[in-house]
Structure 1
Amino acid sequence: MSITRRELLKLAGATGVMSLAPAIVRAQKLEKADVQIAVGGKALIYYLPLTIAEQKGFFKDEGLDLRIADFAGGSKALQAVVGGSADVVSGAFEHTLHMQSKGQFYRAFVQQGRAPMIGVGVSKKTMPNYKTPADLKGKKIGVTAPGSSTNMVVSFFLSKHGLKDSDVSFIGVGAGAGAVSALRSGQIDALSNTDPVVSMLTESGDMDIIVDTRTLKDTLEIFGGNMPAGCLYAPQEFIDANPNTVQALTNAIVRADKWIHEVSIEEIAKTVPTQYLLGEPEVYKAALTKSMDGLSPDGMIPEDGAATAIKALAAYVKGFDAAKIDPAKSWTNEYTRRANEK
């Protein structure tokens, strides 16, 4: 039986239960209410919409019983889904293209970040005389995890300046206090990470930024087009089998995207778990301010995003054949459009 919106409102008014309306409008029955999301560095501002949707109960409002498994980096989170211990990845868009190049189809369906929001910096302790990218040769560069988006940004930067991945050593340092400690203690010479880690090290004077993709303007200059960042993505088989569940996940993230841009920095800082602040709430709030432009306002993936990401991957990934990639199979705004219509 179908029911129009007007009939729905009449029914809700007649029964005196307007709270019924959102539930009926919201979604059809979920194919899978118990969903596990794998994420690499949940405390990072890169994944702020995921945390907000969780903390504000947006996933619960959609009828989802969500569990979030946190890993050291995005590549580790992807491995969890590949291995079957999680259903959906909260991770960098580029991974959908990497997987397609290997004959495995994953699709991004809602965006959390419209800029990579990654900063690359050099240690003032071990590289006080840094002048050009050539100075990175032979150095140890910390990334959240090898193969993650933090690694990808460094690789792209190196390739633009005539260097290869083999010219440096990549060290997995995670996405929190461990990354801060690794740079301050001299275990690494440079670091690619996101906020609040980047702001914590620059504000304290431990690190100088040499690459900054926290704003849309800088991202367009570096990559030559829109570069989708944090997304929810999943195997195409999962999306095909669970469209209502995917819609519910999308609704929650889009709601979080919008909430973030509607409230104050203070309100956001109060909402995230205290440990996200790493003991320095003012630095965290400063980091939020610097990263706000890179956070998606509506969850929509840009039309040129896949092409930009393919071009970047082709520039530094050995054996990556851009001609074999179908960009249209790596993303969809079908669910995000519906969420924005709510």
Structure 2
Amino acid sequence: MMKKWLKSGCTLLLAALLAFSLSACGSIGSKKKALQKVRVAEVTRSVFYTPLYVALEKGYFKEEGLDIKLTTTWGGDKTMTALLSGGTDIALVGSETSIYVYKQKAADPVINFAQLTATDGTFLVSRKKIDHFSWDMLKGTTFLGQRKGGMPQMVGEFVLKKHGIDPHKDTKLIQNIDFANVANAYASGTEDFVQLFEPTASTMEKEGKGYIVASFGKESGEVPYTTFMAKQSYLKEHEKTAVKFVRALLKAGKWVQETDAETVAKTVQPYFKDTKTDMLASSIERYRSQGSFSSDMILTKSGWNTIQDIMKEAGELDHTVPYDKLVNASIVKKAK
């Protein structure tokens, strides 16, 4: 009787241990699957942001335990409103927007913590084919530019002035078209030149509606054009999250640099369903060849000074904002 009880007791004990073990494993498994949600707002949908889409598609964010919800907010003002109002955690937008917020004496300033793009991303498109382009050809023409105070327009003016052209005096400058409608306005209008991102510029060229004649990115040199930013309070509370976020992007950036353009294009194709793979590939290669994708994601002091010089030249900034006030480079360094 005793042996039978012991045998029964041992069986129950083993069953209990097994149940506990399975429960523990299940608990560990559920922890592995529990991803931290992070809301990200991008200022526009652009091939210029290829590393971000690669990080999403190849699962680099999930490897870091993050569940990214990406929203396109179409415009710097809308993107910053979403960030300041708590509608998003992280914004991908021009670094100049953080300076505009700072100038308004925000109680919770917006901090740039990682740089995605290191050059301007726009191209000068001509309505007529020009075999031997020179910048002075813009004088006396109608130029469809970008929104006043936005990074594309400020860099565009910076480049034109470098070539001895005052866009407000030497051209008929049009700036009243909403960012998302610039390409359509040009296609249906009569302007001589327009400033466009890829793949829109290449698409227009393929359709015979315009011809790429110059790159503002090549002309402007290194500029902290588009950065990831968050409110200071968010970064203080979620610094580890920000580090994981950047680490995933660094993986993606390295993969983009080491992988052929066609493979990269196929990877990000879901984000550009109306653009053919070959067009995406050529756009990605164009950006990669001119160093548009930031190699280390660190917004440097020299880059910060450059962007403020461009803003001053455009009449959008009167006082310099110290680097340490609006830039936190430690997050990228920790991610590395």
- TM-score class, shorter-chain normalisation, is 0.7 to 0.9
1:115 pairs with 2:119 = yes
* SS of alignment partner, residue 112 of structure 1: strand
Q: For residues 145 and 313 of structure 2, what CA distance do their matches in structure 1 show?
A: 21
1:311–1:322 contact (8 Å) kept in structure 2: no
Query: What per-residue deviation string (whole Å, max 9, x for no partner) do you get for residues 161-191 of structure 1?
Result: 234499633244545xx55433222276543
* SS of alignment partner, residue 70 of structure 2: strand
* SS of alignment partner, residue 79 of structure 2: helix
User: Which of 200, 205, 209 is 1:197 aligned to?
Assistant: 200
* SS of alignment partner, residue 321 of structure 1: coil
1:169 pairs with 2:174 = yes
Q: Which residue number corresponds to residue 4 of structure 2?
A: none
Q: For residues 133 and 73 of structure 1, what CA distance do their matches in structure 2 show?
A: 27
Q: Which residue number corresponds to residue 213 of structure 1?
A: 216
1:113–1:294 contact (8 Å) kept in structure 2: yes
How far the C-alpha of 1:117 sits from its partner, in A, is 1.9
How far the C-alpha of 1:157 sits from its partner, in A, is 4.3
Q: For residues 248 and 90 of structure 2, what CA distance do their matches in structure 1 show?
A: 14
State the identity as a percent.
21
How far the C-alpha of 1:291 sits from its partner, in A, is 0.5
Q: Which residue number corresponds to residue 186 of structure 1?
A: 189
How far the C-alpha of 1:329 sits from its partner, in A, is 2.0
User: Which of 293, 296, 308 is 2:294 aligned to?
Assistant: 296
* SS of alignment partner, residue 294 of structure 1: coil
User: Which of 40, 44, 50 is 1:37 aligned to?
Assistant: 40
Query: What per-residue deviation string (whole Å, max 9, x for no partner) do you get for residues 20-65 of structure 1?
Result: 9xx99xxxx99xx3221111222x1221111111111122222222
Q: For residues 307 and 261 of structure 2, what CA distance do their matches in structure 1 show?
A: 30
Q: For residues 57 and 150 of structure 2, what CA distance do their matches in structure 1 show?
A: 25
2:155–2:220 contact (8 Å) kept in structure 1: no
Query: What per-residue deviation string (whole Å, max 9, x for no partner) do you get for residues 249-295 of structure 1?
Result: 11121111111112111111111134516343222211111100211
Q: For residues 73 and 177 of structure 2, what CA distance do their matches in structure 1 show?
A: 12
Within 5 A, what are the aligned runs for 1:129-144? Answer: 132-136=137-141, 139=142, 141=144, 143=146
2:140–2:172 contact (8 Å) kept in structure 1: no
**Bigger Rg, structure 1 or 2:** 2
How far the C-alpha of 1:158 sits from its partner, in A, is 5.5
Within 5 A, what are the aligned runs for 1:315-326? Answer: 315-318=313-316, 320-323=317-320, 325-326=321-322
* SS of alignment partner, residue 186 of structure 1: coil
Q: Kindly tell me: are residues 150 and 75 of structure 1, through their superposed partners in 2, closer, same or farther at Cα, counting changes over 3 Å?
A: farther
Q: Kindly tell me: are residues 234 and 187 of structure 1, through their superposed partners in 2, closer, same or farther at Cα, counting changes over 3 Å?
A: farther
Query: What per-residue deviation string (whole Å, max 9, x for no partner) do you get for residues 229-263 of structure 1?
Result: 22211122221221111112111211111111121
How far the C-alpha of 1:78 sits from its partner, in A, is 1.8
* Coordinate RMSD, CA, aligned: 3.2
1:246–1:335 contact (8 Å) kept in structure 2: yes
Q: Kindly tell me: are residues 187 and 89 of structure 1, through their superposed partners in 2, closer, same or farther at Cα, counting changes over 3 Å?
A: farther
How far the C-alpha of 1:309 sits from its partner, in A, is 0.4
Structure 2's unaligned 5+ residue stretches are 1-27, 130-134
Q: Which residue number corresponds to residue 249 of structure 1?
A: 245
Tell me the amino acid that sits aligned with residue 258 of structure 2. Answer: E
Q: Which residue number corresponds to residue 79 of structure 1?
A: 81
Q: For residues 211 and 66 of structure 2, what CA distance do their matches in structure 1 show?
A: 42
How far the C-alpha of 1:67 sits from its partner, in A, is 0.9
* SS of alignment partner, residue 76 of structure 1: helix
Within 5 A, what are the aligned runs for 1:252-331? Answer: 252-274=248-270, 276=272, 278-292=274-288, 293-318=291-316, 320-323=317-320, 325-331=321-327
- Size of the aligned set, in residue pairs, is 297
Q: Kindly tell me: are residues 142 and 163 of structure 1, through their superposed partners in 2, closer, same or farther at Cα, counting changes over 3 Å?
A: closer
Q: Kindly tell me: are residues 313 and 122 of structure 1, through their superposed partners in 2, closer, same or farther at Cα, counting changes over 3 Å?
A: same
Tell me the amino acid that sits aligned with residue 259 of structure 2. Answer: V
Structure 1's unaligned 5+ residue stretches are 1-19, 221-225
